[in-house]
Amino acid sequence: MADAKRFEGYGVLVTGAARGIGAAVARRLAEEGARVLLTDADRAEVERTASELREQGMAAEASICDVADRAAVEAAVAFAVDAFGSLDVLVNSAASCTSDTPLFEDGTDEAWARDLDITLTGTYRCCRAALPHLARSGRGAVVTIGSVNGRLDFGNQAYSAAKAGLGSLTRTLAGHAAARGVRVNLVEPGTVRTSAWEGREDELEALRPLYPLGRVGEPEDIAAAVAFLASRDAAWVTGTVLTVDGGLTAVHAGFKATARPRAAL
């Protein structure tokens, strides 16, 4: 548990908070004193996660929210403001990732649209609904969960295109929101051990040597980065991408292991 109470008195909304990164973010901010509204399209799971936090003495509420539904997003924001008296931080973690078809041309419009609608447009909907309240708080911050998929080809074309779009949205919204006292930043994770990898531990182990720091990420690694960007410790940081990927995109570990480059004679 974090020792600092950087978010004492803060009202926070986290989307995609039923499990994985979103749940870890909600826990980290609640540990640091925030009152957190966990939202997700999975009612049972998000209520279970919020209940666990409350049982451990943290201030947590749960709300069903499909970020593809504008009315549901606006209702979740209103719920947070009513419950906490203010909304100070929005964390966009909800996403959709559809497996690629063997041939690109076999992909469907429906799958493409779903990944973009939830991952990119859903974030837009949440920011649009939350921004007036974040501006009124005097310490408003938006932190969105991107992905290294938005920069390099790791597959999942629609998801990757949506995550790349989040980088652009972060920059343009940061430019608009700065004058209103709201900071907007993006965390860009590499591979993170979440429920999406259950039953695929052998694949995670195969990926480990590709990471210079020797392991894949844990949800708590991403939560720590979000907590920094959402806090006043990052008061002069906006419009930036914080890559949290164990060195994956900085060092081509596979190439180095194969080529074994030698010093020039």
Coil/strand/helix, residue 10: coil
In terms of residues, how long is the chain? 265
Distance between the two ends of the chain, CA-based, in angstroms?
52
Q: Write the pLDDT tens digit of every residue in 178-200.
A: 999 999 999 999 999 998 898 89
pLDDT given for residue 93 in this prediction: 98
Q: Which distant-in-sequence residues (6+ apart) come within 8 Å of 186 by Cβ?
A: 143, 144, 145, 146, 166, 167, 170, 240, 241, 242
DSSP codes, 72-137: HHHHHHHHHHHHHS---EEEE-----PPPPSSGGG--HHHHHHHHIIIIIHHHHHHHHHHHHHHHH
Point out the residues that are catalytic: 159, 163
Q: Which domains does the chain have, with CATH numbers?
A: 11-259 (3.40.50.720)
| 262, 67 contact by CB (below 8 A) | no
Largest CA distance in the chain: 69
Cα 75 to Cα 256: distance, rounded to the nearest angstrom: 51
DSSP H or E stretch at residue 39: strand 35-40
86: closest CA among 220, 18, 182, 228? Answer: 182
Put residue 37 in one of left, alpha, beta given phi > 0 → left and psi -120 to 50 → alpha: beta
Q: Write the pLDDT tens digit of every residue in 71-105.
A: 999 999 999 999 999 999 999 999 999 999 999 99
pLDDT, average across residues 15-32: 98
Q: Write the pLDDT tens digit of every residue in 119-140.
A: 999 999 999 999 999 999 999 9
